[in-house]
């Protein structure tokens, strides 16, 4: 009887773990853009030395690019600037401020914040 109880306890433990795993998977947040097929990248950049421009190229699924140094970013106040890429899942970019450019960055869908050299 003791062996039967141990086996039953083991089986019940496995069932509980499987149930928790299923609940964890079904409870994951759903990206509304992924369901509709829409994508985008939003970039925020902190700059105290003027209005930054954003130079970009090599985007997916359709290549979007601009001429150097790129369009001016939109001020959000408190030295933050914003640029939105609609219908893009990946892009290469860099920031240009007063003729000085940042390192090249590659980003995927989502919202990204930059301050300093990061």
- One digit per residue, the tens of pLDDT, for the chain of length 118 reads 777 677 766 666 655 555 544 333 333 343 434 443 457 999 999 999 999 999 999 999 989 999 999 999 999 999 999 999 999 999 999 999 999 999 999 999 999 999 875 4
Does one domain contain both 24 and 39? no
Q: Which residues contact 39 (CB under 8 A, 6 or more apart)?
A: 33, 87, 88, 89, 109
Does one domain contain both 22 and 70? no
Does one domain contain both 6 and 64? no
The predicted pLDDT at position 8 comes to 61
How many domains are there within the chain?
Answer: 2
The predicted pLDDT at position 51 comes to 96
Query: CA-to-CA distance for 105 and 96, rounded, in angstroms?
Result: 12
The predicted pLDDT at position 34 comes to 41
Cis? peptide before 19, omega within 30° of 0: no
The predicted pLDDT at position 39 comes to 77
Query: CA-to-CA distance for 12 and 75, rounded, in angstroms?
Result: 58
Q: What's the domain range around 87?
A: 32-114
Q: Which residues contact 109 (CB under 8 A, 6 or more apart)?
A: 33, 39, 40, 41, 88, 89, 90
The predicted pLDDT at position 33 comes to 42
State how beta strands 40-46 and 110-114 pair.
parallel
Query: CA-to-CA distance for 39 and 31, rounded, in angstroms?
Result: 10
Does one domain contain both 45 and 93? yes
Does one domain contain both 22 and 48? no
Predicted TM-score (pTM) of this structure? 0.66
Residue 82 CA: distances (Å) to CA of 9, 45, 48, 53, 99: 56, 6, 14, 10, 19
């Amino acid at each position: 009887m003791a062996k039967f109880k141990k086996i039953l306890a083991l089986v019940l433990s496995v069932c509980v773990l499987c149930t928790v795993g299923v609940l964890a998977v079904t409870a994951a947040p759903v990206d509304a853009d992924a369901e509709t097929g829409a994508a985008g990248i939003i970039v925020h950049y902190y700059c105290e030395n003027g209005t930054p421009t954003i130079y970009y190229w090599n985007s997916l699924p359709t290549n979007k690019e601009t001429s150097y140094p790129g369009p001016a970013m939109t001020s959000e106040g408190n030295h933050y600037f914003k640029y939105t890429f609609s219908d893009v899942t990946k892009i290469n970019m860099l920031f240009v401020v007063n003729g000085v450019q940042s390192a090249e960055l590659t980003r995927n869908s989502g919202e990204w914040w930059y301050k300093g050299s990061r």
